[in-house]
């Protein structure tokens, strides 16, 4: 008998690819999604693969969850409000959806008397804050706090060692690194992890949390100004505008393909060793944000340089990329998608996708609240 899989948020970017994977393996797939207009537009467009059952409901609705979990043996909980910047002024919404939605799901799972084979919870690397660094003079590993406006005014885009004043070198960040971020989105993803692992252990259902780094790929909304940075750059370029990059453009992120993320989720479902684990899922390689903007312009054939503002967005980290040692050991995970091969596929998809460049609206909201300096 094949598994029945419930994917919350399964009509979205990552969830729709997860749904396709499980359909291809012969599972029955049920999707629960609210079709949030910020992601899907006001027309309720959903990337629901053929063969999946779609139930339109809010993940906080326990009655809808009870019905959706009927006969389900695997849950992949992708439903979430996404975006660090927006979380700083839509605090209640992010806590309600991310923490409240996860709590509702866990309550319903705890009520069930039939065994759940696996709950996989994609969370976020944003919880780390700044990543792990090395001090050049002696190789000592260091953690630093999020940069302040005083740091930036002193010309220190790069984190410096608080004891010696040396500019620090970024190194891969392992799962054992303390979660230091204080932004609302990062806190909600951290609480998701802690709730799921705690209640899974208490009620006896296996849980795996995957800390995703910057996921990119086709279907990432080009209408949501709080989504992944590559999608934001593409939406600007497709409407003839220059991508906007804060700071000096030298900040880096770890970009991981949605296809690699799906492979990690599939392995987490099947791995008994992964139960109770929190694992990084990234590429393990840093990539400069200004370079990403130039790559996007080049792929679209646009002779457009990014607008580099020299301004600081409060709370932003400079560098953080994944140490994959644990995910390799536990899941046998190795990122397969090459950056050079993936963006052209995204660009091809983006030319036919609904586009709405709302970056200026998001930027204005941040400035009105004093979050860009």
The predicted-structure confidence for 140-155, as pLDDT tens digits, reads as follows 999 999 988 888 887 6
Give burial (CB, 10 Å; 0-12/13-18/19+) of 341: exposed
Q: Is residue 98 part of a domain?
A: yes
Query: pLDDT category, 358, cuts 50, 70, 90?
Result: low
Widest Cα–Cα separation across the chain? 63
> How many folded domains does the chain comprise?
1
Give the per-residue pLDDT at 44: 56
Q: Which domain holds residue 241?
A: 4-368
Give the per-residue pLDDT at 225: 65
Query: What's the CATH code of the domain at 86?
Result: 3.40.50.720
Cα angle 114-115-121, degrees, rounded to a multiple of 5: 125
Q: Is residue 373 part of a domain?
A: no
CA 49 to chain centre: 21
Q: Is residue 221 part of a domain?
A: yes
* Bridge partners (DSSP) listed for residue 210: 122, 279
Q: Is residue 319 part of a domain?
A: yes
pLDDT exceeds cutoff 80 at 113? no
For residue 215, the SS3 value is strand
CA gap 192, 127 in Å, rounded: 11
pLDDT exceeds cutoff 90 at 114? no
Q: Is residue 333 part of a domain?
A: yes
Cα angle 327-102-78, degrees, rounded to a multiple of 5: 55
Residue with tokens 């030298």: 250
Q: Is residue 268 part of a domain?
A: yes
pLDDT exceeds cutoff 80 at 19? yes
Catalytic positions are: 185
Number of H helices, E strands in the chain: 14, 15
Q: Is residue 335 part of a domain?
A: yes
């Amino acid at each position: 008998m094949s598994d029945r899989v419930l994917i919350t948020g399964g009509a979205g970017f990552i969830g729709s690819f997860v749904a396709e994977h499980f359909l291809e393996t012969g599972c029955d797939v049920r999707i629960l999604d609210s079709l949030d207009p910020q992601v899907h537009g006001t027309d309720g467009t959903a990337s629901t693969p053929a063969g999946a059952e779609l139930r339109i409901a809010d993940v906080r609705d326990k009655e809808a969850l009870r019905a959706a979990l009927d006969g389900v043996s695997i849950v992949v909980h992708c439903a979430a409000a996404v975006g660090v910047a927006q979380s700083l002024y839509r605090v209640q919404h992010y806590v309600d959806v991310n923490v409240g939605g996860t709590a509702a799901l866990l309550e319903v799972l705890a009520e069930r008397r039939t065994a759940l084979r696996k709950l996989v919870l994609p969370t976020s690397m944003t919880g780390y804050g700044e990543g792990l660094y090395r001090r050049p003079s002696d190789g000592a590993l260091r953690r630093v706090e999020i940069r302040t406006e005083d740091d930036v005014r002193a010309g220190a885009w790069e984190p410096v060692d608080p004891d010696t004043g040396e500019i620090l070198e970024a190194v891969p960040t392992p799962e054992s690194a303390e979660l230091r971020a204080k932004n609302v989105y990062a806190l909600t993803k951290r609480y998701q992890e802690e709730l799921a692992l705690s209640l899974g252990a208490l009620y006896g259902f296996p849980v795996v949390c995957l800390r995703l780094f910057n996921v990119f790929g086709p279907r990432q909304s080009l209408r949501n100004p709080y989504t992944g940075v590559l999608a934001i750059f593409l939406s600007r370029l497709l409407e003839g505008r220059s991508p906007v990059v804060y700071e000096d453009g030298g900040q880096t992120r770890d970009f991981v393909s949605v296809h690699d993320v799906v492979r990690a989720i599939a392995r987490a479902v099947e791995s008994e060793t992964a139960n109770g684990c929190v694992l990084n899922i990234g590429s393990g390689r840093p990539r400069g944000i200004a370079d990403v903007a130039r790559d996007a312009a080049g792929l679209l054939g646009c002779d457009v340089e990014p607008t580099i503002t020299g301004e600081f967005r409060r709370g932003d980290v400079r560098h953080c990329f994944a140490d994959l040692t644990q995910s390799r050991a536990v899941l046998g995970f190795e990122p397969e998608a090459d950056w050079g091969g993936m963006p052209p596929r995204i660009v091809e998809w983006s030319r036919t996708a609904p586009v709405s460049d709302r970056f200026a609206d998001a930027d204005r909201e941040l400035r009105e609240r004093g979050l860009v300096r």
